[in-house]
């Protein structure tokens, strides 16, 4: 079952995609992908090979896309009987999912003996493929040679993943899930404002142990930080995400480092941040930790319990004063006097940019509202999904970076 999608934004609204389906058991995922794309406001046209029709019917794809599913190179319903020309001319991209080993070989060698392969050869729009095949077929030297050639020809190869396969074996060759392909397609259409840049993002809460089973934390879900990390990756950056405890999956294409405490987050950041061009501190890091956490569970004794708390190290402040610091972006989660507290924090830490929000509206929610503060003043980002705000923040950062 496909994971429930969260924070869907209209990034594909109005985009026109031709989805190619080739023969393979993963064709069932193509049906779910059509559903997701149509739900997002995408115009989806489907072209299927004869082998694909053995696994899923054109009627299914027609019902999901709301358009006829094309299978015939000689379809008389297409203008001038030129289906291989006309069906792709108004498309923003062609995505072939699943793309079988046979079809990858056709593409790599310029063969065009059916509708879908001819469409791909005669296209004027970008081409993306999602391989799906048995692990030995994927590992075969011929397949690897074909995939390399496709990359050199400008074709974007999405996946595959490693996992259980219909043949009963486990390994590389499994097609990406429909939601993963949706995210990859959405990312493809985002402007590559941070291409060649290295970005580090912190996200989520930290957990400061009291004893073996208890601790001090906060209600941050990590959603804003993960959205910023995804937006940075979509913008072409090499992204490292240092995350406190959350229930979120790492964004596609992002390298995640899991930590628990503020101290562990500090160590993980300081070990790698010197290689970053941009550091975005979104995490809700604990300001205090227990002076002497207990190794064993404390027993309830009935009397008042007093805990000694000591300040944690200020990660963002330490990064900002490095000899050659990255471009530092802070986040301020306030409950009152948003502008005053945010301006004070930015000045105190000497940050070029700070994003502020109200914690009671942001923590745990799928939407947020940000106010950005920089040397040019105050910039309000109205309520939107956290991913949409993350993309706006990344665009703002990109505009402030020195040109390379």
Distance CA 328, CA 335 (A): 23
Separation of alpha carbons 19 and 95, rounded Å = 5
Intra-chain end-to-end CA distance of the chain, in Å:
44
Residue 240 is inside which H or E element, if any?
Answer: strand 238-243
As a whole number of angstroms, the distance between CA 401 and CA 335 comes to 30
3-class DSSP assignment, residue 354 = strand
Instruction: Report CA-CA distances (Å) from 379 to 62, 96, 104, 327, 343.
Output: 45, 41, 47, 18, 12
Question: 3-class DSSP state for residue 279?
Answer: strand
Q: What are the φ/ψ torsions at residue 70 (nearest 5 degrees)?
A: -95, 140
DSSP sequence for 212-225 = SS-EE-----SHHH
**Which of these, 104, 101, 100, 161, lies nearest to 127 by C-alpha position?**
104
Does the annotation mark 167 as catalytic?
yes
Find, among 47, 126, 49, the residue nearest to 91 by Cα: 126
Q: Is-contact 40 47, C-beta < 8 A?
A: no
Asked if 261 and 209 count as a contact pair (C-beta separation under 8 A), the reply is yes
Whether 343 contacts 308, CB under 8 Å: no
Distance in angstroms (rounded) separating the CA atoms of residues 390 and 228: 4
User: Who contacts 7 (Cβ-Cβ below 8 Å, separation ≥6)?
Assistant: 223, 227, 366, 385, 386, 387
Candidate list 42, 120, 125, 167, residue with the active-site label? 167
Q: Give the contacts of 183 (CB within 8 A, at least 6 positions apart).
A: 230, 251, 252
- Helix, strand or coil, per DSSP, at residue 95: strand
DSSP-derived pairing of the beta strands 93-99 and 127-131: parallel
Closest by CA position to 333, among listed 215, 246, 256, 221: 221
Active site residues: 167
């Amino acid at each position: 079952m496909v994971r429930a999608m969260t924070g869907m934004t209209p990034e594909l609204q109005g985009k026109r995609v031709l989805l190619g389906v080739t023969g393979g058991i993963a064709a069932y995922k193509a049906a779910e992908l059509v559903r997701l794309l149509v739900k997002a406001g995408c115009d989806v046209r489907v072209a299927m090979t004869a082998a694909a029709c053995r696994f899923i019917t054109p009627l299914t794809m027609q019902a999901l896309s709301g358009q006829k599913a094309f299978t015939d190179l000689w379809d008389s319903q297409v203008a001038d009987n030129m289906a291989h020309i006309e069906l792709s001319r108004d498309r923003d991209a062609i995505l072939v999912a699943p793309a079988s080993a046979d079809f990858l070989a056709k593409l790599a060698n310029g063969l065009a003996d059916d509708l879908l392969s001819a469409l791909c050869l005669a296209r004027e729009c970008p081409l993306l493929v999602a391989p799906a095949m048995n692990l030995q077929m994927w590992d075969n030297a011929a397949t690897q040679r074909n995939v390399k050639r496709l990359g050199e020809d400008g074709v974007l190869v999405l996946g595959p993943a490693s996992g259980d396969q219909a043949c009963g074996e486990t390994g590389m060759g499994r097609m990406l899930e429909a939601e993963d392909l949706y995210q990859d397609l959405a990312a493809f259409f985002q402007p590559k404002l941070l291409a060649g840049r290295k970005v580090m993002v912190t996200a989520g809460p930290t957990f400061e142990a009291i004893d073996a089973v208890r601790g001090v934390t906060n209600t941050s879900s990590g959603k804003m930080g993960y959205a910023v990390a995804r937006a940075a990756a979509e913008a072409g950056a090499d992204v490292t995400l240092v995350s406190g405890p959350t229930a979120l999956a790492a964004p596609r294409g992002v390298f995640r480092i899991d930590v628990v405490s503020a101290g562990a987050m500090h160590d993980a950041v300081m070990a790698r941040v010197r290689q970053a061009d941009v550091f975005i501190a979104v995490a809700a890091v604990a300001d205090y930790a227990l002076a002497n956490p207990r190794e064993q569970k404390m027993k309830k004794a009935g009397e008042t319990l007093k805990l000694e708390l000591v300040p944690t190290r200020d990660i963002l402040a330490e990064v900002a004063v490095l000899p050659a610091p990255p471009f530092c972006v802070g986040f301020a989660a306030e409950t009152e006097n948003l502008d005053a507290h945010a301006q004070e924090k930015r000045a105190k830490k000497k940050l070029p940019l700070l994003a502020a929000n109200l914690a009671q509206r942001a923590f745990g929610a799928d939407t947020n509202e940000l106010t950005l503060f920089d040397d040019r003043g105050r910039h309000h980002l109205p309520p939107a999904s956290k991913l949409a705000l993350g993309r706006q923040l990344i665009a703002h950062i990109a505009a402030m970076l020195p040109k390379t």
